[in-house]
């Protein structure tokens, strides 16, 4: 059934995409607004989060939903520091990936603010991959559909747990929760810490906040 529908969508969008992209996203937030903070001051670059994500979400080898990018070393041995940068979906409130998707596969869940992909609707056109300013999308080699971090919406969140990366982090460098709830830890951290987000000037309103490590980086 789903394969048939997918095949149909692939055939029909080949024609439809010749025109303007339908704008299908909604910016209204009815319920929760799931948000993540990556505290670069606390991160030690162990990549436990990357491994946990791959395992819990059965992400195939060769692609990844999450990367921790390590800076070049600062200083000389033994006085060396590094900085670590989290690369993953920012769950934009104004997501270009959703705006360009011709089949409605890419969507923003209004109840949670999570941006996700319905693999059954994805036609593999890769417009979303090109449109995402954060370069976090890929084609899953198994499903042949676009994929990326979904805040573990279909795995850990569905089971009432925290996202796998958050659960696995040994230094509590990842904080996750509902930004619509002013009492949540994530709201508190954002309210009381100096945070930054990347590429806000594009108007994407990303929901991955970062606490910058001191200039020159971390000491593990």
Partner 1 sequence: MNKRIYFSSIAFLATVLRIALAVLALSWVSSQAAAAGQTIDPENCIGCHEETPVLGVHSGTLFGATNRVATCADCHGWVTDLGQHETDGADMVRFDSAAAVLEPLTLTPLSLGVSTIATQNQTCLQCHSGKTLGALHWTHDAHGFELACSTCHQLHPKNDPVRGLSNASTIKLCVDCHSAQTRNGEGVRP
Give, in degrees to the nearest 5, the angle at Cα 70 between 58 and 149. 30
The reply on whether position 61 binds partner 1 by CB under 8 A is no
Q: Burial letters for 156-178: b for 16+ Cβ neighbours within 10 Å, e otherwise?
A: bbeeeebbbbbbbbeeebbbbbb
Residue 41's binding partner out of ligand SF4, partner 1, none, with CB under 5 to 8 Å set by partner kind: partner 1
| Residue 42 Cα distances to 18, 38, 171, 211, angstroms | 47, 9, 6, 9
The reply on whether position 182 binds partner 1 by CB under 8 A is no
The count of residues interacting with partner 1 (CB under 8 A) is 25
Give, in degrees to the nearest 5, the angle at Cα 103 between 98 and 104. 45
The tokens 């869940």 sit on which residue?
109
The mark string for 70-109 relative to partner 1 (x by CB under 8 A, - otherwise) is x--x--xxxxxxx---------------------------
The reply on whether position 29 binds partner 1 by CB under 8 A is no
Q: Considering the complex, state which of residue 80 and residue 200 has its C-beta at the smaller distance from partner 1.
A: 80
The structure tokens listed for 171 are 């230094």
Residue 65's binding partner out of partner 1, ligand SF4, none, with CB under 5 to 8 Å set by partner kind: ligand SF4
State the residues that interact with partner 1 by CB under 8 A: 39, 41-42, 44-48, 51, 70, 73, 76-82, 168, 170-173, 219-220
């Amino acid at each position: 059934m789903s394969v048939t529908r997918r095949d149909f969508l692939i055939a029909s969008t080949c024609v439809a995409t010749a025109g303007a992209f339908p704008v299908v996203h909604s910016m209204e937030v009815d319920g929760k607004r799931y948000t993540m903070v990556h505290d670069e001051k606390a991160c030690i670059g162990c990549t436990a989060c990357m491994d946990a994500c791959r395992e819990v979400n059965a992400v195939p080898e060769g692609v990844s939903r999450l990367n921790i990018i390590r800076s070049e070393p600062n200083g000389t041995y033994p006085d060396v520091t590094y900085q670590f940068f989290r690369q993953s979906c920012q769950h934009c409130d104004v997501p270009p990936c959703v705006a360009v998707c011709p089949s409605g596969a890419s969507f923003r869940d209004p109840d949670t603010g999570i941006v996700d992909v319905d693999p059954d609707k994805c036609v593999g056109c890769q417009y979303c991959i090109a449109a995402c300013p954060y370069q976090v999308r890929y084609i899953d080699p198994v499903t042949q559909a676009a994929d990326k971090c979904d805040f573990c919406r279909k795995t850990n969140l569905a089971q009432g747990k925290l996202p796998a990366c958050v659960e696995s982090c040994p230094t509590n460098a990842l904080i996750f929760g509902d930004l619509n709830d002013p009492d949540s830890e994530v709201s508190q951290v954002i309210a009381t810490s100096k945070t930054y987000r990347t590429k806000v000037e594009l108007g994407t309103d990303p929901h991955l906040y970062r606490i910058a490590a001191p200039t020159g980086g971390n000491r593990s």
